[in-house]
Structure 1
Amino acid sequence: MSNTPKDSLKEKLNQLQCHFTWTPKKETIDLEDLMYRLEDAIHFAIKYQATSYNQMAFVNCLEGNHEEAIKNLKEAEKILRENHKDEFERRSIVTYGNFAWVHYHMGQLTKAQSYLDKLEVICKPLSDGPRYTAMIPEVYGEKGWSLMKTSAESYEEAKECFAKALEQDPDNTDWIMGYATVLSRLEAFSGTTEHHERSQSVKHLRRVLELDPDHSLAMVLLALKLQKFNAKKEANELVQQALQKTPDFPYMLRYAAKFYRVEGAVDKAINLLKHILEFTPKSCFIHHQLGMCYRSKLMPRTADPYHTHLRYHALQHKTELIEQCKYHFEKACKYRKRSAILPHLDLADLYVKIGDHSRADEIYSFLLKLQDIHPENIQVVCLRAGSFELYHRGSESKAIKLFLKGLKIEYNSNERKRCRYELEKWADRKLCRNPCDSKALGIKGLLFQQSGNKAKAIQYFEEALETDHDNEDYLSALWELRLSLKGQDDA
């Protein structure tokens, strides 16, 4: 029961559709990184400025910057009035919901209520549902874009939002583009390798280009997908078209640079990335891409072993490339300290290559302590850290623990498969040397248990217990397996 006007007001606010009711808890968001990306979006993704200002207001409110949040929302309202005169009321539902919440957090309850009153007037003819909101495509679409920008954990929910927006407005390129983008990211997480003709993200990117043949961002994102499927001729043509249509659009240019780096045209990629960096000096994505470009140039170079001059210049060039890699990977990590998993891993890998194992160990230790990150990211950290321990530190026990941690995370990814492969390879190698190695037998038992082969799992756990009689993990697994088989027999 509500005891105060503030409690009563909050009950109404919780019914709204806006960032304050959508977004995960503050501790699960990398606010600093999100703010950087929103600033970039405001400068370079003109079409989605209002959406970015809305989300920036939410971040500023979380940080206690209430006055700045109000400024952000006024900017969003102004942009919506200018760009969507005929649809302003439909487009303003999220903005007015955010206004109400910020004023509530400022203790300005009368102003908060005034925005609820505005929403009630706007939403009444649009919906028979909740009193202060309307589940229309514009609301679903903004929720989808905002969730996708918040964190990878929100991609599935973002996908559902775009799907619901498209149910009501099937030819809207904004919602199709959002749906295609989130599908592409989810395909990358799951390690999908299907043919491009069956790829859902490819299908929807093609649909965007059917409706808007000049959509340069859709062109390069489609090119990147086709590149993975070896449809290189069409992919190259799409990138060239995009560069001709919008040669100064940073969002498009950064994906074009990624395309050229993967294609092997590294100098072309570096030139594009340096151009973008002039506008976005704190972009984690751009610094990471530059680091990868310089790393690809670090291929072994042969020089005449008898020609001192050539050997000196080759060594000098290699040193310069290492410093460039290190500089850009470190910048990427600095600007997204918590969420830049791959730049951190690439920096650790660089330290391994140059023999600085203590710095690599620091990075892996930091990443392994992170909380609330995407399951696939945990798996890739476990895989890379485990490989480091096994192949560079010679610590089998630490490596096995890390591979097991990655395997036990219930998320189907290539990294999980590789953790399994490393465990199997290690166990088979140990058993070739010593068929009674209890740890290797236990690992084999676990692998068979995970794959559903209960009989083989029992066999290996029993063999492991012949040597390691009191191992609680093996006893527990064996008890569970036997109980499961007994249940099947009874049935």
Structure 2
Amino acid sequence: MSDQEKDLLKVKLDQLQCHFTWAPQKENIDLDDLKQRLKDSIQLDVTYKDKSYNQLAFVNCLQGNCEEAIQNLQEAEKILRENHEDEFEKRIIVTYGNRAWVNYHMGQLTEAQSYLDKLERICQQFPDASRYTAMIPEVYGEKGWSLLSSAAQYYEEAKECFIKALEEDPDNIDWNLGHATALSRLETFSGTPESYKPIQSIKQFRRVLELDPDHAEAMVLLALKLQQRNQTEEALELVEKALQKCPGFPYVHCYAAKFYRLKSDVEKALDLLKKVLEITPNSTILHHQIGVCYRKKLLSLNKNSPSKRPSDPASEQRAKLIELCKYHFKKAFETRPLTSIRPQLDYARMCSLDEDYAEAEGIYNNLLKLEGIRPENRQEICTDFGLFELNEKKSESKAITHFLEGMKVNYNSTEKTKCRDNLKIIAERQLRRNGRDSEAYRVLGLMNQLDGKKREAIENFEKASELDPDNEEYLSALCELRLSIKADNDCPNKS
């Protein structure tokens, strides 16, 4: 095949709908972690093995393991032929697209073209299909699950994929569950439209149970949402029913464990999690959940035995719990430093509690370097780092820097509010100590500016400038704010 033919083949491949053309790419995800999670999923799950093999093939190809990727795709095709013979051609589109890409990366261009030919024949069945791909519910559904398993920044797109899939097949259990799961995850991020309507996922999980009353995973996920709304009686009934119906299903155990931990039955939660950990000892999610359980025990111990004297019998138990927390939190992020933000923050907090300040600071500095993460995650990192500098390192100036960075992220979340509240506390404390502290007025001015309160910002920068008349930063800020107000006045209808 000539270079020109190879370039033409690449143009055709770029038109496909498969993992190689969807959003998450090598620079956006932790491939080793995703690979481990997909392997765990294949081992634990019966329902979605074909999807996991498809995504695993993509990861293996990116890592240069093309022969292994071919084997993964062969497994996916085998599962689809055995379990979905009547819908095989609808469900094989993504797999054949991945196969064409893997063959292309291996230099097997004729083989890649043969899979394009197969796709072309399949797509002729669908009126709205393009030459090599068809945006049918099966493709939207698989894309949705792929995005959900990649990273948090893709949850919104995943939700839209499931909505598209359900437009043509509203009674599909798989896509209703995917839609409910995407909504549920988005609801946990303050600032998202979904967080203001937290009952959306509840309705969607109930829809899954209307279609399949014995769907244990939907039961425990619904129970967790009901628990948040203090509907504890129904939630407990759902969890107990799910565990009875699927006593050996690991995902049900994981979600049930979270329910019991939030119910303060930590021992039952740990028992469930440890059983699943025996099956998948490298699961980052399990290690994080176990760490959170031990942290809950630690907080309870600190509340009931506040004394930290070495002679106190609780001191040894406290030290042991801190080590267990650190061990499991670290296991939860060491293979996925780019996407596992919460476990790293939890680990850093434990390091602070253990007075291992250098380790905690290293974690915070690494987290600040992350790019492409959700805005509330960025704000949470700034909040935690600011509190660390304020409370552990006793540095108000560094704390101010981090809280301001959190406020600069243009996203309304509870973490942004925490940054603002802490800045206000510091500035007001500085002014109580010294009413002529120009730095305190600067901080208040910057807060006002970031909140869009330009006139209040001018007042505070004027006070700062009166106390420190040669400060160029204050003068520059005043000039910028006055010009901005003038521009607003000159163009009152400016959007």
TM-score, length basis structure 2: 0.93
Residue 127 of structure 2 aligns to a residue in which SS? Answer: coil
Task: After superposition, give the CA deviation of every residue in 1:426-477 in whole Å (9 maximum; x if it has no partner).
Answer: 1122223333322221221222223232211121122222234454544444
The within-5 A match list for 1:129-168 is 129-168=129-168
The within-5 A match list for 1:22-421 is 22-190=22-190, 199-298=199-298, 299-300=301-302, 313-421=313-421
Distance 1:108 1:304 in 2: 67
CA 1:389 to 1:222, structure 2 compared with 1: closer, same or farther past 3 Å? same
Count of aligned pairs between the two proteins = 487
Match of 2:81, as an amino acid? R
CA 1:202 to 1:477, structure 2 compared with 1: closer, same or farther past 3 Å? farther
Residue 250 of structure 1: how far off its partner (Å): 0.7
Residue 115 of structure 1: how far off its partner (Å): 0.5
Match of 1:374, as an amino acid? R
CA 1:193 to 1:354, structure 2 compared with 1: closer, same or farther past 3 Å? farther
Q: Which is worse superposed, 464-473 or 194-203?
A: 194-203
Distance 2:201 2:304 in 1: 42
1:490 matched to 2:495:
no
Residue 39 of structure 1: how far off its partner (Å): 0.7
Task: After superposition, give the CA deviation of every residue in 1:21-46 in whole Å (9 maximum; x if it has no partner).
Answer: 00333111111111111111111121
- Answer whether contact 2:253 2:272 (CA < 8 A) is retained: yes
Distance 1:364 1:328 in 2: 18
Match of 1:119, as an amino acid? L
Residue 483 of structure 1: how far off its partner (Å): 2.5
TM-score, length basis structure 1: 0.94
Residue 392 of structure 2 aligns to a residue in which SS? Answer: helix
Match of 1:18, as an amino acid? C
Distance 1:454 1:359 in 2: 40
Distance 2:318 2:3 in 1: 70
CA 1:191 to 1:374, structure 2 compared with 1: closer, same or farther past 3 Å? closer
Distance 2:12 2:386 in 1: 50
Distance 1:293 1:304 in 2: 19
Residue 48 of structure 1: how far off its partner (Å): 0.8
Q: Which is worse superposed, 272-281 or 371-380?
A: 371-380
| Alignment-derived partner of residue 16 in structure 2 | 16
- Answer whether contact 1:220 1:242 (CA < 8 A) is retained: yes
Distance 1:37 1:135 in 2: 27
1:463 matched to 2:463:
yes
Distance 1:73 1:5 in 2: 25
- Answer whether contact 1:127 1:135 (CA < 8 A) is retained: no
CA 1:223 to 1:196, structure 2 compared with 1: closer, same or farther past 3 Å? farther
Task: After superposition, give the CA deviation of every residue in 1:101-159 in whole Å (9 maximum; x if it has no partner).
Answer: 01111111111111011101101121334210001000001001101111111111111
- Answer whether contact 1:385 1:402 (CA < 8 A) is retained: yes
Residue 393 of structure 1 aligns to a residue in which SS? Answer: coil
CA 1:430 to 1:314, structure 2 compared with 1: closer, same or farther past 3 Å? closer
- Answer whether contact 1:191 1:413 (CA < 8 A) is retained: yes
Task: After superposition, give the CA deviation of every residue in 1:199-241 in whole Å (9 maximum; x if it has no partner).
Answer: 2111111111111111111111111111111111111111111
Distance 1:196 1:455 in 2: 30
- Answer whether contact 1:173 1:212 (CA < 8 A) is retained: yes
Distance 2:32 2:225 in 1: 30
Distance 1:479 1:233 in 2: 60
Distance 1:476 1:431 in 2: 23
Unaligned runs of 5+ in 1: none
Unaligned runs of 5+ in 2: none
Match of 1:142, as an amino acid? E
- Answer whether contact 2:186 2:194 (CA < 8 A) is retained: no
1:454 matched to 2:454:
yes
Distance 2:335 2:296 in 1: 23
Distance 2:11 2:20 in 1: 13
Match of 1:406, as an amino acid? G
Residue 279 of structure 2 aligns to a residue in which SS? Answer: coil
Residue 252 of structure 1 aligns to a residue in which SS? Answer: helix
Match of 1:52, as an amino acid? S
Distance 2:305 2:405 in 1: 44
Residue 300 of structure 1: how far off its partner (Å): 2.3
Residue 189 of structure 2 aligns to a residue in which SS? Answer: helix
Distance 1:47 1:411 in 2: 37
CA 1:78 to 1:405, structure 2 compared with 1: closer, same or farther past 3 Å? same
RMSD across aligned C-alpha pairs, in angstroms? Answer: 2.3
Residue 378 of structure 1 aligns to a residue in which SS? Answer: helix
Residue 345 of structure 1: how far off its partner (Å): 1.5
Q: Which is worse superposed, 24-33 or 71-80?
A: 24-33
- Answer whether contact 1:367 1:381 (CA < 8 A) is retained: yes
- Answer whether contact 2:208 2:215 (CA < 8 A) is retained: yes
Distance 2:200 2:7 in 1: 45
- Answer whether contact 1:196 1:225 (CA < 8 A) is retained: no
Residue 194 of structure 1: how far off its partner (Å): 9.3
Match of 2:485, as an amino acid? L
Task: After superposition, give the CA deviation of every residue in 1:215-270 in whole Å (9 maximum; x if it has no partner).
Answer: 11111111111111111111111111111111111111111101111110000001
Residue 196 of structure 1: how far off its partner (Å): 10
Match of 1:122, as an amino acid? I
Q: Which is worse superposed, 171-180 or 9-18?
A: 171-180
Residue 334 of structure 2 aligns to a residue in which SS? Answer: helix
Q: Which is worse superposed, 182-191 or 311-320?
A: 311-320
- Answer whether contact 1:195 1:229 (CA < 8 A) is retained: no
Distance 1:284 1:379 in 2: 23
Distance 2:470 2:247 in 1: 68
Residue 193 of structure 1: how far off its partner (Å): 11
Match of 1:235, as an amino acid? A
CA 1:221 to 1:191, structure 2 compared with 1: closer, same or farther past 3 Å? farther
Distance 1:62 1:426 in 2: 48
- Answer whether contact 1:196 1:202 (CA < 8 A) is retained: no
- Answer whether contact 1:282 1:335 (CA < 8 A) is retained: no
| Identical amino acids, percent of aligned pairs | 59
